[in-house]
Structure 1
């Protein structure tokens, strides 16, 4: 009898180098680009002492900028989640004249310089602008108020939601909607029970990206904000103000608080995204 020998399967050929070498390059790149600069911010803040740090980050003017920056960013991301979903739905599920043009215009905030966007929005929504003059007739002021900041953040954050949700919508089969309708489900029930669970992870990802972009936005906001103390000053402006005063420890202190708050909010959003993905996996 001849012995039967089992040859081990050949290892798949990797395009990139081995795991250790690839991981080493990745960690080195991550350290140089992200970890070391962030660590420098924390060390610079610590050099100023706890008392100076606390007085800087809790001053009324800085606290007002926190409320405005994070509040406006969250509201803008929420609005973009709703209207970004509607826009992505229209681009994927309907065919109409000018669809490709609208699809291309969605990416305009990506390539448009933020200063140009801020000047354009200010020209439109200023009291003498096209929209601002109409609002001024009814006693509504948009530019140089928190409303103008919110509009600027919506403008720069919309593409993140559309481009995140659009590929998921393209993969969803219309047969799911037809099957739900054949079983007697109404349109709202079909959307809430069939489509929304599948879209929720992508929608949360778009929300997180839009929020992250909005909370640190400076160029497009600074022109339309008006920069009125305690009213329309954003946190990035407070950092620039501290730098102009040569208060580097104060600037890094505000940056550290902003970084920590952003990390906590993004951690919560990513947790919700993971929960939604796991829920879909259990259902499937």
Structure 2
């Protein structure tokens, strides 16, 4: 029997290229100690710059807080109300709210890192201003028999608790809408003797509320020379006096009422209370020579305001 023989296929091996010898080898880069030191300088400078910036911000923050504390008591703001608004008080209210949000910033909504969040006087001032405008809107709505409920109820509800800047904007828009309704004769906001007296009575209630809060701070057994409650009481009372001044100053007496002197005296007393602005609120002794009691001083001013407003109310009542 024959045997068949199989031959293996030869394997093809690729030939590798012959290495080429480099006559001038590339030298390896070496960093000297001096070069390494120079490369670290920018990092060190950046670190020191960040640290220096942090120190500057820390030192500047108290000044930023002082700069943010904007208590606006401009007794001529806003101007030209009688010529541009059909309902002057609504115009005053809307523009006061708009000023606090758009120009000064609403402190109650400030983020925790903001200088506004560190303030005590400004949040109390803005909140009391908002509440006073809300009270006034509620009274006017009652005077109109609830016919302006859609607008003025919105204002009263939005401005009756802790207020956000969005609620302030919504209340301002509602006041503008109410003013439009007056212009189109949907609402009759004519100031009669009865309405005049009711609005003055509301201002009197604000003064009494403020003097009650100030008295609590003054007579507190745990009273401290510098304390948050005294600052809040002073600036809450100041805000109510300021809103009362701005509203009373645009209230024109109805035909037949002769109250010019009483009205002028009330405006004068309100001006003193509204412009009361101590550099630092101290709750010392009322007769203290170094640290007097600012709450006590404002208490006296508000008592005079109340008396002047009572004279206005009595004069209106006697002629009605």
TM-score (norm 2): 0.28
Q: Flag the structure with larger Rg.
A: 2
Answer 1 or 2: which has greater helix percent: 1
